Amino acid sequence: MRKMFSRRMTAIAVVSLLVASALPASGQAPAERDITVVNIEFEGTKVWVPAIIVAKKGEKVRVKMINKVKSDPNVHGFAIPDFNVKVDVYRDKPETVEFTADKAGLFRIWCHLHPAHLPGQLLVLEK
Amino acid sequence: MPAQDSTTLVREGKRVYLANCAVCHGESGDGEGPGAAQLAVKPRDLRTGTFKFRSTPSGSLPRNEDLEATLVHGVRGTGMVSQRHLSQAERQAVIAYLKTFSDRFATEQPQASVQVSAPPPLTSAVIARGRRIYEKAQCAECHGEGGRGDGPSAPTMKDDRGLPIAVPDFTRWPLKRAYEPQALFMTIATGLSGTPMPSYSDALEPDEIWALVRYLESLAPPHHRRSLGQQLMPGDETIGHKIEEDARRASKSQ
């Protein structure tokens, strides 16, 4: 019985250590950022609005994508390869993707389904 | 055409439609006829006025000759079998009738057909150029690196109704519509309305589209090519023929 209790305490200690190491130095959960982008068509050109999204390094970013383009095709892509983000967004079928902005810099956003269009940028700021 | 003639044409079209098309497309054109449940590729909902196989630019209605081409050739590998048994007059009548299912035909005019330029000679240089365009245009995302319809996004492709779409395997010809290279040029130039396949007419010049077509042709080994007379291949939907046959038999026995 005492042995089992000891094992359980050891397991709790290990898990606590792992969780602590995943948290920022302050010990708090990473900040979260919610962003919504909408795909629209203006005079024949399709764009994500806003085309430039901004986050701070370390933030957990949640992007909601809404495709409001009425013309064909019925789907467009939203990809940020540097963060392994790649989502097919169908017309009027919102999608949400989450990633951690674990590096600072300027990163390319584009539609991975069609010839390079819907260009955008993700700017991740140092703290 | 005088109004009386138009009414007569539509009335005749309704007769042809109910005898040949309603079994799958439904009496109201909603694509939910009694045969539809048996089909893997669901029949078109004619009420939307959205047609994949057109010669017109993206977003436009099809021209009568586009609809007639689908009637004559069918859509290979699906339940939409050729309606060659219909006379030209019957085809014109049924086209007039099916256009009554969507208000679009009453309020819009189809645009002019996209022009198909002369094809380039089939050379290794053209094919290599087509391969580069295939990569640049990110075709592999849906169609796969080898053109077998197995790209990363292929399993989740859907049409406007949310129904799954089978991305074509370019190593097996003829394709749904592309029984000749000019038809594949047209699909790339006009896109397939209501699906994830866009028009590339803004992104690619005609000679680039042709290079792409030549590359896609090169993916099909000769033994995978079938003539129009040999339409069925393993995996093709054959139930359309049976549904049509049963409907004709039932109609004769009445």
Contact B204, B254 (CB under 8 A): no
B118 within domain boundaries: no
Q: What is the DSSP string of B44-106?
A: P-GGG---SS-SSPTTSPPPHHHHHHHHHH--TTSS----TTS-HHHHHHHHHHHGGG-THHH
Residues in B closer than 8 angstroms to A77, CB to CB, are 141, 153
Question: What is the CATH number for B89?
Answer: 1.10.760
> pLDDT confidence of A5, banded at 50, 70, 90?
very low
Answer whether A72 sits within 8 Å of B203, measured CB to CB. no
Answer whether A74 sits within 8 Å of B158, measured CB to CB. yes
Domain A32-125 has CATH 3.30.750.24: no
More confident residue, A28 or A48: A48
Mean pLDDT: which of A80-84, B71-75, B158-162 is highest? A80-84
pLDDT of residue B180: 82
Q: Which of B76, B192, B181, B195 shows the shortest CA–CA distance to B130? A: B181
Average pLDDT, chain B: 88
Distance from the Cα of A71 to chain B's closest Cα (Å) equals 6
Answer whether A75 sits within 8 Å of B157, measured CB to CB. yes
More confident residue, B166 or B254: B166
Hey, is the C-beta of B153 within 8 angstroms of any chain A C-beta? yes
The structural domain count of chain B equals: 2
Rg (CA), chain B: 19
B229 within domain boundaries: no
Q: Are residues B101 and B129 in the same domain?
A: no
In this structure, what is the dihedral angle of CA atoms B220, B184, B210, A46, given to the nearest 10 degrees? -120
Question: Which candidate from B142, B192, B200 shows the least CB-CB separation from A113?
Answer: B142
Tell me how far apart the alpha carbons of residues A23 and A19 are, in angstroms, rounded to a whole number. 7
Site from B56, B135, B197, B204 to mutate, A interface, most A CB atoms within 10 angstroms:
B197
> pLDDT confidence of B174, banded at 50, 70, 90?
confident
**Residue B185 pLDDT exceeds 90:** yes
**Residue A115 pLDDT exceeds 50:** yes
| Domain map (residue ranges) of chain A | 1-29, 32-125
Site from A89, A114, A117 to mutate, B interface, most B CB atoms within 10 angstroms:
A114
**Residue B136 pLDDT exceeds 70:** yes
Tens digit of each residue's pLDDT (9 = 90 or more) over A13-46: 444 433 333 344 456 778 999 999 999 999 888 9
State percent of chain A over pLDDT 90.
67
Q: Are residues B107 and B160 in the same domain?
A: no
B139 within domain boundaries: yes
Distance from the Cα of B159 to chain A's closest Cα (Å) equals 7
Q: Are residues B105 and B130 in the same domain?
A: no
**Residue B123 pLDDT exceeds 50:** yes
Mean pLDDT: which of A20-29, A76-85, B220-229 is highest? A76-85
Distance from the Cα of A119 to chain B's closest Cα (Å) equals 14
B73 within domain boundaries: yes
Task: Give the β-pairing of A32-42 and A120-125.
Answer: unpaired
Contact B105, B196 (CB under 8 A): no
Residues of A with a Cβ under 8 Å from any B Cβ are 44, 71-75, 77, 86, 88, 90-91, 112-117
Answer whether A75 sits within 8 Å of B196, measured CB to CB. yes
> pLDDT confidence of A9, banded at 50, 70, 90?
very low
**Residue B187 pLDDT exceeds 80:** yes
State percent of chain B over pLDDT 90.
69
Least confident piece of the model among A86-90, A91-95, B196-200, B225-229? B225-229
B230 within domain boundaries: no
Chain centroid offset of residue A98 CA: 4
Q: Which of A94, A97, A96 shows the shortest CA–CA distance to A84? A: A97
> pLDDT confidence of B237, banded at 50, 70, 90?
low
Least confident piece of the model among A48-57, B153-162, B175-184, B198-207? B175-184
Q: Which long-range contacts (CB under 8 A, 24 or more apart) does B19-25 make?
A: B19/B247, B19/B248, B19/B251, B20/B83, B20/B86, B20/B94, B20/B244, B20/B247, B21/B94, B21/B98, B23/B243, B23/B244, B23/B247, B24/B79, B24/B80, B24/B240, B24/B243
Answer whether B153 sits within 8 Å of A113, measured CB to CB. yes
Contact B157, B135 (CB under 8 A): no
Angle formed by the axes of helices B88-98 and B3-20, nearest 10°: 100
B51 within domain boundaries: yes
Q: For residue B128, give its domain range.
A: 124-220
pLDDT of residue A21: 38
> pLDDT confidence of B6, banded at 50, 70, 90?
confident
Contact B215, B146 (CB under 8 A): no
Q: How many residues does chain A have?
A: 127
Task: Give the β-pairing of A32-42 and A60-67.
Answer: parallel
Answer whether A114 sits within 8 Å of B198, measured CB to CB. yes
Locate the chain A residue with the closest alpha carbon to B144: A113
Distance from the Cα of B12 to chain A's closest Cα (Å) equals 33
pLDDT of residue A6: 55
Least confident piece of the model among A107-111, B72-76, B148-152? B72-76
B226 within domain boundaries: no
**Residue B60 pLDDT exceeds 60:** yes
Distance from the Cα of A88 to chain B's closest Cα (Å) equals 8
**Residue B80 pLDDT exceeds 80:** yes
Residues in B closer than 8 angstroms to A81, CB to CB, are none
pLDDT of residue A13: 45
Residue B173, judged by CB atoms within 10 A of its CB (0-12, 13-18, 19+), counts as buried
Question: What is the CATH number for B190?
Answer: 1.10.760.10
Average pLDDT, chain A: 84
Tell me how far apart the alpha carbons of residues A112 and A77 are, in angstroms, rounded to a whole number. 5
Distance from the Cα of B230 to chain A's closest Cα (Å) equals 32
Q: Are residues B17 and B91 in the same domain?
A: yes
Q: Which of B58, B67, B60, B59 shows the shortest CA–CA distance to B96? A: B67
State percent of chain B over pLDDT 70.
85
Average pLDDT over residues B119-145: 94
**Residue B203 pLDDT exceeds 70:** yes
- The B residues from 158 to 187 touching A (CB cutoff 8 Å) are 158-160
Cis before residue A50, ω within 30 degrees of 0?
yes
ipTM of the complex: 0.74
Q: Are residues B45 and B75 in the same domain?
A: yes
> pLDDT confidence of B50, banded at 50, 70, 90?
very high
Average pLDDT over residues B128-133: 96
Locate the chain B residue with the closest alpha carbon to A117: B203
Please tell me what DSSP assigns to residue B155: G
B119 within domain boundaries: no
